[in-house]
Amino acid sequence: GDCEGKQRLEELLPLQQFILWRASKLVKPGGRLVYVTCSLLPQENEDQLRAFLTSDEGNDWDVTPPTDFSVPFMAGPGGNSYLR
Angle in degrees, CA 53, 55, 57, rounded to 5? 90
- C-alpha dist (Å) from residue 49 to 2, 19, 54, 59, 83: 25, 12, 9, 11, 12
- Compute the distance between CA of residue 30 and CA of residue 27 in angstroms, rounded to an integer: 8
pLDDT tens digit at each of 84 positions of the chain: 688 889 999 999 999 999 999 999 999 988 889 888 888 898 998 899 999 999 998 999 988 777 776 766 665 555 556 655
What pTM was estimated for this model as a whole? 0.75
- Compute the distance between CA of residue 38 and CA of residue 59 in angstroms, rounded to an integer: 25
Catalytic residue IDs: 38
* 78: alpha, beta or left? (left if phi > 0; alpha if psi -120 to 50): left
Chain center to CA of 66: 15
